[in-house]
Every structure is written in C-alpha cells, then in structure tokens.
Amino acid sequence: MTKFSEKDVLLRIKDLQIQGYSEETWIDIIKGVDLTLHRGEVLGLIGESGAGKSTIGAAAMGYARDGTRISGGSIEFDGMELTTATEGEKRALRGSRIAYVAQSAAASFNPAHKIIDQHTEAPVQYRIQKRMAAQEDAMELYERLRLPNPGEIGFRYPHQVSGGQLQRAMTAMAMSCRPDLIIFDEPTTALDVTTQIEVLAAIRDIVDQFNTAAIYITHDLAVVAQMADTIKVLLKGEEVEQASTEQMLSNPQEEYTKSLWAVRSFQRDQKSRPTDGTPPIISVKNIDASYTGSAKVLDDVSFDIYPGMTVAVVGESGSGKSTTARCITGLLPPSKGEILFKGEKLPAKYTDRNKDQLRQAQMIYQMADTALNPKVQIHEIIGRPAQFYSGLKGGDLKQRVDELLDLIELDPAKYYYRYPPELSGGQKQRIGIARALAAEPEFIICDEVTSALDQLVAEGILKLLDRLQQDLGLAYMFITHDLATVRSIADEVVVMQQGKVVEQGPKDEMFTPPHHPYTDLLLSSVPEMDPNWLTTLLEERGVDNVGEAADVNQDPPDGKAEDEPTK
Amino acid sequence: MSAFVFGYYAFLILASVILAYVEWRKWFMMVFSLTLISFVLGIVGGTPALRAVATFAIVLAVAAMVSYAFKEFLIQLAKPNLAKELRTAPLTAAFGMFVIFTYAIAGIFAPVIAPHGEAEVIAGAFAAPDANMLLGADQLGRDIFSRIIYGARNSVGLALVATLGAFILGALAGLLAAVKGGWFDTFMGRVADVIMSIPSLIFALLMLSILGTATWVIVFVVAIIYSPRVFRLTRAVAGNIVVMDYIEAAKLRGEGDWYLIRREILPNSMAPLIAEFGLEFCFVFLLIAGLSFLGLGLQPPTADWGSMVRENATLISFGDVTPLIPAAAIALLTVSVNFVVDWMLYRSSGLKEQ
C-alpha cells in the first residue's frame, strides 16, 4: 500500500451495508465493508458466489440492484458522496467517470446495433467528443487492445465477433470516456483459457496506460494475482482480509484465505490401464459426426476408457468434447464409426438401446440448474432411475434413495422432500450425481461438472467423485476445459481441437514435455498463482502470439516495449 | 348549502389533513386532488354531481374492503405455501376471486337461492319489480332475478366445459408436438393454422346451423375453435422446457413420451397454462353469450345471460335498464377473471416490483 499516497484516494467506502429483499424481509447481504481505492490502483475482490463481490462492485457506482438497497455506510467517489447523491448526479458519473465491464459481453451488447455505435454512445451523449472523433478514438482503443482489423471490426454486429474479442471491445467501450474507475465483473470467467490470456493482457495494458483505477471482481485466484495490486477477500458479505498481492499470496493470515489457496492442492494417484486383457468399458472407434446440414463436428475420434479409470477430455469450447459425449449417449448418432461397450457394439441411437444399455451411459451435467427439474422433489429425482431400471417400490425405494443421499453426503431426513431451487449449487450438483448413481452404472460422463461452481465447492465435488470411483469402481469420462481439474483427478487425458483428437495418453506423460503444440498452448495458458506469470508468459510468447490474436501483427503500444518485445 | 355538500367537503378536507399528517403521500395526493376537482364539479354540476362522486367512491371503498376481507379470509384458510402466494395478490385480484366465488355459489346452489323456477311464469309480461320479484318479470312473465341466478349455472357452466374441452385438445396436441417434434409437430401446426384462418364466429354459426344447437355441439364447436390458441401457447412453453438438460436426462433414461409430458413438462408449464385458461375462458364466455344473443346458443326456456339480453331488448327503448343486468353480469365476470389472470401472469412472468 506504500505505492499509493493518501491524497490519491479515488474511492472510499466506509462501513457499507446493503440489504436484499427476500421472503418479505430485508436481509443483510453486505455487513459493513470498508474499501479504499487510489488512482491507478487495481483492487481484486475475491470470494465465493454469494459473498457480495458484484454487489459491492455495483455499489461503487452508487447503484443498488433490483431488490437490494444501500442501508448504511458511505461511498465517497472523488469527494462526492454517492449514497446521498441524486439519481441525476449519479447518472452523470456512470459511463463517463465510472465504467462497468460485465461478465458476459455477448449478453451485454445490444445485438441490433454495431459495436462502434454502442461504443460512441457515451462520449457523444456526454458531449466529450463528436461522433467522428469518438469513432477514431474507438479505433485507436481497438488497436491498443490488439483487436484484429481495428479500423473495421467496430462496424460489425456483436454476433459477428468472437467472445474474447467482444470482451475486449467492451473494455474499449468502458475506456471510451477515459473513466477514473472501471469495475470489471468477472470479465474472463466465461472464456476459454487461451482466450482469457489475451483479454487479461489487454485489460492490464490499458489500465496501466491510462492510470485508471479498477476493481477486479473474480473468483479465480490465479487471475486476480495477475491483475491486482491489492487483494481483498470477502466471505458472506464481510471482509476476511486485505493485503497487497505479493503478501496475500505468500503469507495469507486468515484460515479462510488459506483454505482458498489450498484448494488446488487436491491430487489423486494416477491409475494405469489394466494389463490382464480386460476390454475397455467404452471404446470410441473412428467416429465422425455432424449436426444436420453443417460441416463435420467430429473427425475420426477414437479413444478407450477402461473400467475404474478417469479419462479427461480437454479442449476449447467448440472442440467437440460435448459432441463426443452426445455420440456416446446416443443423442447424436455418429455418421461413421462405432461405440463399443465392453467389446459389444452399442446401437447408434439411444431409442434403439435397451434398458441395460441405457443405464450404462449416465451423465452429470454442467448446469445443475437446468439438469434438475425444479418442480420435482429430490426423492423422486433420485428415486425415478432406481424405480425405472430396478423396479424398486415403496420401502425398498425409500431405502435406496436414503442410501444414495448418504453416498453424496446429504442428510436424507433433511433433503428427501425438498425441491431443487431450495438447494445451493454444490448440493444440486450432488443430486445430479446421485441421479446418475441411482441407475447403478459402471460408466459416467461428467460434462464440465465443476465449472459452474466455486472452487471450494468444486473441490468437494471432485473429492466425492473420487471417493465414489474407489467405492463403486466407476469409470469417468471427464469433459473439462479446466486443466487444474485434469491435474487433480485424471488418469488419462485426451486433447481435442476442432473435432479431432490431437494427443492422448496417460496424465503424467501428457503433462511432461514434449507436447503437441496445441497441448502446449492449452497448458501454458492456465493461470498460475505466481503474480509474474502473465508477464513471463507474454515475454515468452510475444504479445502477438497470445490466443487468437496470433494472426494479427502489430507494433507494440508505446511505452510497453520493455514488457512485450516485438517478435 | 345543503348538509350533504357541507359534510362532503368537511370529510374530504379532514381526510386530506390526516393523510398529510401521517405522511401517506400517495393517498394524500389522491384525496386532496379529489377535493380540488370537487370544487369545480360542485360549481358546474351542483349537488347531484357531488352525490354521484360520493356514491362512486363509496361503492369503490366497499368493494375494496370486501376484497381485502376476502383475501384475509382465504389466507386464513389456505395452507402455508398457498397463503404466502395469496399475500402477494393485489386487491384487484382479491376482488376478482371474490366475484368468481360469488358466481360459483350462485351457480351451484341456484335452485336453493332462486325464489322462483327457471321457466315458471308467475306474472304478466314485463311486470314491474315488487316484493316478490326483485327485478321484475320478463316478456313471458318469468322472474328475471331467478333467471339470472340460473343463468350463472347455465352460461358459466357451459363456458367452463367448452374451455376445458379446448384445453384438453389444445394442450395435449401442443405437448405432444413439442415432445415428438419433426413431421408431427409440423402437421399439428398447420392444422392449427387452418382452424385459426377461419373467422371464429362465422365458423361457429355455420357448424351450429348444420349440426343443430344441442349442448354437446356447442361445447364441441367452441372447443375446436379455441384449441389452436391453446395449442400454440402450450407448444411454445413446452418448447422451452424440452431443451432442458433434465428432459435429456429423462430421455436417455428411456422414459416414454407420456411420462415426459406428465411428470417433467406439465408441472413446469402449469403457471402460464392456468393464466391462459382464465383468458380463454373470457373469450369462450363472450363467444357463447354472443351465440345465445343470436339465438344459436342455449335454447329457451333454459335461462342464459346472452339470450336474456335479447329477449328483453325491447325494454331499452322505454328507458328501462333491466336488459343491461345480464349484460353487466357477463361483463363483471370477464373483468374479474381478467383481474385474477393478470395477477397470475404477473407472477409466472417473474416480474417483481422494485
């Protein structure tokens, strides 16, 4: 904190209290948080979902979301008290002096207008620039953010631009009025690791160049370590601790912070394939697949999954991971090739499979919210497969459901009659697991099961899956883009890119060089806790070789030459 | 200045002051604006205008109080879960529920409530109201009040059955179309288009002229006419649900279409369907009343609000409001159902205040 002096304070939040309205009463969501932000400082806010990160971010603009209210404390932005400011005064600040970058740029841009028109709206509205000047400025910002074809890209509509580019365009838009403060609300959470890097690099550069203060909200520690000068850890609306990034990483004080740091330490011994000639439980043989009327999504994909093993399938979004799962379950019959179950051919369409074949291909879904019927009680969700496949009834069925609830470490007495919306994200995911287990399968497909969960919760799910594998001898096909998860629980890894398998093998081999270039790109793109990781990586790769920016060649922005050498 | 006018202004001013003191700003603004408007009204219209305003305000207040009491009554009776939902109901919805409740009572217990028989001739044609006949007699000397009570049973019952028919047809087809997809979906969609492309009243008149005016024919024809609208809504709602992962999970489990519809899709599409039921009921009710008015609905001597308007229509030229009473009964019910439906739509759309 010595870097910043007292007179540079831009935002000072004191004893902030925010309440949310639910069940006809006001409940405290933020219970007295203090926050001080200096000009040019980047503050990382981290915590689980529900910790109040985004609420504080919005409060920094003097904004309380629908159903919430600021009930106490003060928010002072550059000498102006926002809690008592009129709506008009606050509106004058937003967009011009405080800007906001949302999690999903795709959902935040208006699809009916060109990107540059949305970009120039704020400066023109605030009479900072004329339209043409604002457009030229936008192009310059696009160039600084290393967007391809900066002169042209703004004239496209949001859907014509990729997710990473859109997120950068949104950052450029936030910069359009040269605000003093930008609030980044999980800007890279929805992106692939390879795309994430370029967005991170772009955000960091632009914040440095204009000496903008920023609040960076995320749940990813490794990301925040790259971005922030100071880190504040939140838990259930209260501050746990705050320290400079180096200090926080090397020497966390509180137990909770330590537990957050320790999350990535879970590791399981790697198993190897059985050598006694046991056939693989699932064998994918040379399958091609395409959705109606479009190009091939899968091209000659083959891999084997042996009993009791975990095979991780990794790759960026659009690489065909989930499509492969759909082929195995029979939702999308492959146009070529076949799927073998214990050496026997499975019918291509799920409607042609018999009950015993169906029970073997169980799935656990990414979004537990959409995977569980919100209007059906837990005992029926879990009990139905048991009833359907094993014909259990009455007392036997109830006993089986209790057993399954015990297996997933939820108290049967408490959850038997509950509905999914009453449960937390982690509990819902556990119910999803129980439903898969109820069919008594030997093989389960886990489709990004932890990516929507907080790290601590995800950790719990991974441990549970591991325990179940040991107890019940299950085989998993683990679809993920998170290589940290792969490190912790996989036995074998299959790397996919554009519908092809580019590399596969046991985990230890896959994680030791030499790699296939794509595997290498994926591996090196995973953020690490080291605060200098991004800088080092950019030095190694060169600025223009980051992610999809690799096809663009530009001069490095002024003043950044020492960090990012020209190729 | 009469005592009424004096009391009128005294009450308004007193109420404004009290409301201003307790800082009920919205109510204060309303009452005080009314006071100011009353000054103008009093000058222009004199005492009768003020009397009309006072009567209107009192009727409104009584309706509001009854609605409030009825809502509290329902909350007391309901189970905890339902009671929580009821608490969110606005006064208009409570009013709607009260009216529907009253109609239901009138319809179910019609023979007990009505002082005279449905087709009983007890007086001369168009006899004036007296102690025996609350609203006077109709063109054949039957008690109009008794016929209105019986009308609640006949008109509302018929509309209810016809709407149910439209729903069973439309919802079933819609759910099946959403689950099956493919050619079945396309086929059902085109069938619905064809039915919708025929003007409904003309189609109804045509069918009723051909098939006669038996009750089952009315129900059947109206159900056919209104089922495409239900079909479209159901298909759209179910279409959003069938893409959910839990449906995929159930399909992969090997569940049949009927299980998917019954256990997975229907519970999640109930809210918009119930709201649509209320809305459709109003349309069906109005269509049936219209058919009756044209003489193709329920046949005499069965009491029916639509035909009652026509039978007594001549009275209008004598400045008598009697024929408007069945019409008002129709209007009141449709408005009430709409109040309740609005509240349900509001809840199912997930819009929340603040």
Asked if residue A85 has pLDDT above 50, the reply is: yes
Asked if B255's CB is within 8 angstroms of A388's CB, the reply is yes
B351 touches A at CB < 8 Å: no
A100 touches B at CB < 8 Å: no
Cα dist from B195 to A86, A137, A375, B202, whole Å: 56, 57, 34, 12
Lowest mean pLDDT among A252-256, A359-363, B184-188, B227-231: A252-256
Take residue B188 and report the two structure tokens written for it: 């059902």
Cβ atoms < 10 Å from Cβ of B2: 9
Question: Between these two residues, A295 and B200, which has the higher pLDDT value?
Answer: B200
When pLDDT is cut at 50, 70 and 90, the band that residue A565 belongs to is very low
Chain B: give the shortest CA distance to residue A313, in Å: 20
Chain B: give the shortest CA distance to residue A333, in Å: 13
Asked if residue B129 has pLDDT above 70, the reply is: yes
In order, the DSSP letters of B16-55 are HHHHHHTT-HHHHHHHHHHHHHHHHHHHHHHHHHHHHHHH
Asked if residue B155 has pLDDT above 50, the reply is: yes
- Type of residue at A491: D
How far does chain A reach from its first CA to its final CA, in angstroms? Answer: 35
Question: Cα(B291)–Cα(B154) distance, rounded to whole angstroms?
Answer: 14
B263 touches A at CB < 8 Å: yes
Asked if A353's CB is within 8 angstroms of B254's CB, the reply is yes
B255 touches A at CB < 8 Å: yes
Give the DSSP letter of residue A72: E
Q: What is the mean pLDDT of residues A450-456?
A: 77
Confidence at residue B14, expressed as pLDDT on a 0 to 100 scale: 93
Confidence at residue B230, expressed as pLDDT on a 0 to 100 scale: 93
Chain B: give the shortest CA distance to residue A67, in Å: 6
Task: Return the closest-CA partner of residue B287 out of B221, B231, B241, B337.
Answer: B221
Asked if residue B144 has pLDDT above 80, the reply is: yes
Question: Cα(B166)–Cα(B231) distance, rounded to whole angstroms?
Answer: 9
- Mind listing the pLDDT tens digit for each residue in B219-278? 999 999 999 999 999 999 998 888 888 998 898 888 888 998 988 898 888 888 888 888
The domains of chain A are located at: 9-40+51-87+229-248, 282-525
Buried b (16+ CB within 10 A) or exposed e, A276-292: eeeebbbbbbebbbbee
Asked if B354's CB is within 8 angstroms of A67's CB, the reply is yes
Confidence at residue A3, expressed as pLDDT on a 0 to 100 scale: 60
B179 touches A at CB < 8 Å: no
- Mind listing the pLDDT tens digit for each residue in A9-49? 888 888 888 888 776 778 888 888 888 888 888 888 888 77
When pLDDT is cut at 50, 70 and 90, the band that residue A197 belongs to is confident
- Mind listing the pLDDT tens digit for each residue in B297-329? 888 788 888 888 888 888 888 877 888 888 899
For chain B, percent of residues with pLDDT exceeding 90: 31
Confidence at residue A543, expressed as pLDDT on a 0 to 100 scale: 57
Question: Cα(B55)–Cα(B63) distance, rounded to whole angstroms?
Answer: 12
Confidence at residue A455, expressed as pLDDT on a 0 to 100 scale: 75
Confidence at residue A553, expressed as pLDDT on a 0 to 100 scale: 34
C-beta of residue B203 within 8 angstroms of C-beta of residue B225: yes
Asked if B249's CB is within 8 angstroms of A375's CB, the reply is no
Alpha helices in A115-250 (DSSP H): 115-125, 131-144, 163-175, 193-209, 221-227, 245-250
Per CATH, A9-40+51-87+229-248 and A282-525 having the same topology is answered yes
C-beta of residue A77 within 8 angstroms of C-beta of residue A11: yes
Q: What is the mean pLDDT of residues A200-223?
A: 83
Confidence at residue A259, expressed as pLDDT on a 0 to 100 scale: 75
Question: Cα(B297)–Cα(A191) distance, rounded to whole angstroms?
Answer: 63
Which residue in chain B is spatially nearest to A349 when comparing CA positions? B252
Q: What is the mean pLDDT of residues B7-16?
A: 91
Take residue A73 and report the two structure tokens written for it: 């404390």
Take residue A396 and report the two structure tokens written for it: 């036997």
Confidence at residue A560, expressed as pLDDT on a 0 to 100 scale: 36
Q: Chain B window 85-114: which residues touch A at a Cβ cutoff of 8 Å?
A: 87
- Mind listing the pLDDT tens digit for each residue in A541-550? 765 555 444 4
Task: Return the closest-CA partner of residue B343 out of B142, B67, B119, B39.
Answer: B67
pLDDT averaged over chain A?
81
A374 touches B at CB < 8 Å: yes
Edge-first strand listing for the sheet containing A310-314: A361-364, A443-447, A475-480, A310-314, A492-497, A500-506
- Mind listing the pLDDT tens digit for each residue in A277-304? 778 888 888 888 887 767 778 888 888 8
Question: CA angle at residue B163 from B162 to B165, to 5 degrees?
Answer: 65
Residue A393 gets the label, from left (phi > 0), alpha (psi -120 to 50) or beta, of: beta
CATH of range A9-40+51-87+229-248; options 3.90.76.10, 3.40.50.300, 3.40.109.10, 3.30.70.580? 3.40.50.300
Among the partner residues B248, B252, B268, nearest to A358 by beta-carbon distance: B252
Q: Domain A282-525: which topology?
A: Rossmann fold (3.40.50)
B253 touches A at CB < 8 Å: yes
Question: Cα(A224)–Cα(A261) distance, rounded to whole angstroms?
Answer: 12
> In terms of DSSP bridges, do strands A443-447 and A282-290 run parallel, antiparallel, or are they unpaired?
unpaired
When pLDDT is cut at 50, 70 and 90, the band that residue A563 belongs to is very low
Chain A: give the shortest CA distance to residue B44, in Å: 43
Q: What is the mean pLDDT of residues A66-88?
A: 82
C-beta of residue A288 within 8 angstroms of C-beta of residue A295: no
When pLDDT is cut at 50, 70 and 90, the band that residue A247 belongs to is confident
When pLDDT is cut at 50, 70 and 90, the band that residue A270 belongs to is confident
Helix (H) or strand (E) holding B327: helix B324-348
When pLDDT is cut at 50, 70 and 90, the band that residue B56 belongs to is very high
How many CB pairs lie under 8 A apart between chains A and B?
57
A430 touches B at CB < 8 Å: no
Q: Tell the residue number behind the tokens 């015993």, with chain if given.
A: A356
For chain B, percent of residues with pLDDT exceeding 70: 98
Helix (H) or strand (E) holding A488: helix A483-489
- Mind listing the pLDDT tens digit for each residue in A396-414? 898 989 988 988 888 888 8
Confidence at residue B188, expressed as pLDDT on a 0 to 100 scale: 93
- Mind listing the pLDDT tens digit for each residue in A116-166? 888 888 888 888 888 888 888 888 888 877 788 888 888 888 888 877 788
* A179 CB burial (10 A radius; 0-12, 13-18, 19+): buried
Give the DSSP letter of residue A214: E
